Amino acid sequence: MKKHIALRTILTLLGIIFYPILFIPLKVNFFDTPQYTRKLSPNLLFLLISISITVFLFIQNRLSFLKLSISNRYLRSLNSNKFSASRLKSNTKSSDKHKKTGFTTFKKIDTYIIENKRYLSPDINLLSLANRFEISKGYLSQLINNHTNTNFNDYINTLRIEASKKMLLDTSYNNYTIESIGLECGFKSKSNFYNAFKKFTGSTPNQFKKISSESSTS
């Protein structure tokens, strides 16, 4: 490319130098006959050749630049796609590895909560549970989210709702009010119990009990 630019520059300078000579006429007799006598300048031919070569080199230079530009764009796009795919693959592996390494800890916590029925305690919270297993509150929240796809409150309330459903269907609790069953299962108020029950079952405690009773008798 540098050679082309240098050659083009030289030809342009030569054209400038010989340009004044264009106006000096020169008689040339073609075929030695008077009718073919013309006023020509040899420098005109030289200048035309110089311009043609310059134009040719300029076009060739622009085409080379265009090809190089397209090639660079393609390489950048290719490298970008490779980087995105590599980063996605790396993040997936890291996430899978993180879930795998945290599963043992989560399983210990889950077993502790279920076997000791800690979910029935209205005072259970993320901080006290994290302190019990000597881990951070944020890490415990992340473990629950990764392995249950829910947050801490929904995780505990799901266990409470399952316990309340068993109590609602157990005849030994027939003398219990709906509110009492909710309190026994760890809910602090009747409204909290009703809202959670509706969220996870799609019906109220009374509706659930009625539907279940009708199904058992039919």
pLDDT in tens, 54-87: 666 667 666 666 666 666 665 565 555 554 445 4
> In terms of residues, how long is the chain?
218
Burial of 105 (0-12, 13-18, 19+ CB in 10 A): middle
Report, as an integer, the average pLDDT of 18-47.
Answer: 51
The mean pLDDT value of the chain amounts to 76
> Cα–Cα distance between 117 and 5 in angstroms, integer?
85
pLDDT at 39: 47
For domain 96-217, say whether CATH 3.30.230.10 is its number: no
Mean pLDDT of 5-13: 58
Domain ranges of the chain: 1-64, 96-217
* Measured distance CA(78)–CA(73) in Å, rounded: 9
Q: How far apart are CA 84 and CA 73, in angstroms?
A: 16
pLDDT tops 50 at residue 31: no
Angle at 132 between CA 195 and CA 167, to 5 degrees: 35
Structure tokens at 214: 């009708």
pLDDT of residue 214: 80
pTM over 0.75: no
